Amino acid sequence: MKRSFKLMGTGAGPGTPSFFCECAGCLEARQYPKYSRTRSGAVVKTEIGNILVDAPPDLRVQLLREQIKDIDNIFMTHWHYDHFGGLGELEYYGKLARKQKVPLYLPPSAQPEFAAAFPNLFEVFEVKSWSFGEQYWFGGLSITPLAACHGIETAGFLVETVNKRLAYFPDTSGMPATTAHKVKGVDWLICDATFCGDNWFPQVHMSAEQAIELGKALSVGQTVLTHMSIHYSRPVVNSELAALAAKQAGVKVGYDGMVFEL
């Protein structure tokens, strides 16, 4: 069985297209569904099961689209709605199909917030807290939460096998020095590129241009842009994103369903 990391969604909070928006980016996505972006999340495939990274509100649609029928563990980067809103979609999977609790690794500070938002789901999830810097092993693959800069307690995840290293940071504004040291030289940096142009919230997010510069500074093999808003700052269409990426070696625009073999 091949190990892999799949981007289930690559959009920011509003998604693309947004139901309330008729900007150029949203109109393009309506006309050409391949340019649609569901909210950001991922699935890691290992020899011993599938690990869900975040549970965006689009989770049910994503799982159906990618024909994923089993979730064996869940790691949450942080407790913002566009990353946890789909947890409830797993209620009946747990009750009717799996019939045992799914381990759910939360930021330590999110434990009370989970209890407030989903008081009836403790029978579905085995709720745990992840710890920064701890390696969690799943067969021959490990996941390590590393500190991100996002205003609340937030992790990016370093995913490692014997041959490959991938860093997933969908929500961050740069990186703390200790995190940057551990991420330096990874094969792939999948990075927050929420804004194209002006960054409205530089303390918690990055622009596509800033993500590209971060990848250069960290000497990564490839920088992959994710968590894109399309219509913050200004609307942006796919051809503009592609042109931006093409200016730099080793830069790719992420898309829903994109796979990285580990």
Walk along the chain (262 residues) in steps of 10 and give the mean pLDDT of each run: 93 95 95 96 96 98 97 98 98 95 98 96 97 97 98 98 97 97 98 91 91 97 96 89 92 98 96
Both tokens of 39, joined, read: 């909210």
pLDDT score for 92: 96
Collect all residues with Cβ–Cβ distance below 8 Å to 130 and sequence separation of at least 6.
Answer: 75, 105, 106, 107, 108, 136, 145, 155
Distance from the first to the final alpha carbon of the chain = 11
Collect all residues with Cβ–Cβ distance below 8 Å to 83 and sequence separation of at least 6.
Answer: 39, 40, 41, 54, 55, 56, 76, 77, 170, 171
pLDDT score for 233: 82
Q: How many domains does the chain have?
A: 1
The span from the CA of 48 to the CA of 64, in Å, is 21
CATH of the domain at 82: 3.60.15.10
Range of the structural domain that residue 91 is part of: 4-261
The span from the CA of 155 to the CA of 7, in Å, is 17
The length of the chain is 262
Report pTM.
0.97
pLDDT score for 1: 61
pLDDT score for 148: 98
